Structure 1
Amino acid sequence: MKEPDGVKKVLLIDHIEGQCRCIIGFKDGDAREAYMCGEPVYQRRGKKLSSWCAYHYGQMHTVAAQQNRESDQSAASPQAVSIVRNP
């Protein structure tokens, strides 16, 4: 899936149901005026509508899966424990 070109971007206040809600930028750098992606949202069969287009949905799940793999690997590696005994 290729990255959206930004042609359909929409201001948060003008956002309507069915448009991707991924924040892609800000109008004049003002955090109160966020631009949303605006592409049609992704829908899996038998599931409710997503909040993201297919591209951003894939990005979100790819990053989350990678973070889970990294945390699983760090939990699996043994940790050295020092024990101090007082005589």
Structure 2
Amino acid sequence: MQVLLLIIIGAAAGFVATRIMGRETDILTTIAIGVIGALFGGLLLRVIVAVGSFAFGFIGAVVGAVFLIWFWDTYIRK
């Protein structure tokens, strides 16, 4: 079922991509472009999300630590 869904989504994505780029291709090439593009794009997005997740986690940790220091200085240690 997943392979069929990948082919359908790949055909749609390939069709849209070939129209955006102004290419006229046959249906098999269009599907191949879409499926390979989906695999490449999915991998690229996973890498971006992983790197972004690490960066946002680090930023959150720094903000949390700064808040904790501020809270300690303001309310605990007087």
- Specify which structure has the higher proportion of helix: 2
TM-score normalized with structure 2 length:
0.39
Specify the structure having the higher radius of gyration (Cα): 2
TM-score normalized with structure 1 length:
0.35
